[in-house]
Structure 1
Amino acid sequence: MRYPAEPWHMRGSLVISVFRVPRELVPHAHLPSGARMITLAGNAFVAVSFVSYEPGSVLTYEELLVATPVRDQGRLAVSVPQIWVDSEASRQGGRELWAIPKQLARFGQGSSIAAVVVTGGVPLPGRWTAAGRTAQRLDGRDVRTRMHMSGRVRLVRAGWMFPVGGPLGYLTGRTPLVSFTMKDMRLTFGQAP
């Protein structure tokens, strides 16, 4: 299976919610050597996001991911312990280029991973920008890469459903601390050789 060379230039939309979760419940095999999950009073902050990458992207697909903030090499970074995509090219590229543990999944009604309903919303003015790094470990490789994202942000209420026996069961019944959507999103992921 072929996939695009990095960096990947993507566009689309997303919904993201941040949860507070006891640190011992959060998967951590994905952390590279020396990286530590950032915690507060024994709790980690877990972001769950559903993303739709649309035409204009190097690949078009949907993605559900979990991300946690970490301290890595003296800097703030993000690590992705769990992620599902509906594209084999994205799965293979994510794993081989950046050590992101992408797995294949089907999304929509009846998903055994998660479902989300978004209501309400307050638009935040302007275009928001975030830049940073990911820090990953997969198959004995530590990989760090850069990312840059921008888009129009709206604070929302997001109701997530995580099946008890599913891979995100540790989030069942938890209420997000904050949720937002991003429209007209632009994402650059990875580094030019």
Structure 2
Amino acid sequence: MRYPPEPWHMQGTVVLSVFRLPRRLVPDDHLPVGARVITLAGNAFVAVAFVSYEPGSVLTYDELLVAVPVWDRGAVAVSVPQIWVDSEASRLGGRELWAIPKLLARFGEGSSIAGVAVTGGVSLPGRWRFAGPTAQRLDGREVRAHAAMSGRPRLVRAGWMFPVGGPLGYLTGRTPLVSVAMDDMRLTFGQSPYAQAP
């Protein structure tokens, strides 16, 4: 097989920032029929995250993604309109297993997609856990999966750079509402919705 079977068990670190922006700027061709982006006063909330999956994961690679909360089939879910990885196996698996529109990219200095610098850090107590459904549509195919994540969060200052002409140019100049780094992150993706967070 060109990629591991689901579920994928991953571990590593993540930096995530939440932005508020007009709903009209958020891509929506990734949404299943009937799903809608959750808004407040005409604004949507998008999370931009840089993730490094480290040894111990089924695949090791870096990832940059945009995620939005959506209302789907009577419940809150997460949908991913844009995502880049530096692993061909991850790209294929994400697209074929879960209809996640992964594209290949190189990260680092001079990236045409995004860059982030993290400073400070206030640790929050305990280990935090999150779990819930995902809802995706790609090439006319709809897939709903499940994700469960845990880790030790820190409030940080994240300075993002989004090139004006790049695919995330709609975020250029915007300041995050909040930024969090998560250490010792564990993620299980594609599991049964009845499983517990790791």
Normalising by structure 1, we get a TM-score of 0.98
Partners of 2:165 and 2:179 in 1: CA distance:
24
| 1:1-193 equivalent positions in 2, closer than 5 A | 2-191=2-191
Q: Deviations over 1:5-44 (max 9, x none)?
A: 0000000000000000100011110000110000011110
Q: Please, what is the CA RMSD of the aligned residues?
A: 0.8
Q: Deviations over 1:148-182 (max 9, x none)?
A: 00000000110000000000000000000000000
Q: Deviations over 1:105-156 (max 9, x none)?
A: 0000100000000111110000000001110000101100011000000001
Letter in 2 for 1:12: G
Partners of 1:162 and 1:26 in 2: CA distance:
15
Letter in 2 for 1:103: L
Letter in 2 for 1:96: E
Partners of 2:21 and 2:107 in 1: CA distance:
24
Q: Deviations over 1:37-87 (max 9, x none)?
A: 000111100100000000000000000000000000000000000000000
Partners of 2:17 and 2:147 in 1: CA distance:
19
Letter in 2 for 1:95: R
Where in structure 1 do 4 or more consecutive aligned residues deviate above 3 Å? none
Letter in 2 for 1:162: F
CA apart distance, 1:191: 2.6
User: Which structure 1 segments of 5+ residues have no match?
Assistant: none
Normalising by structure 2, we get a TM-score of 0.96
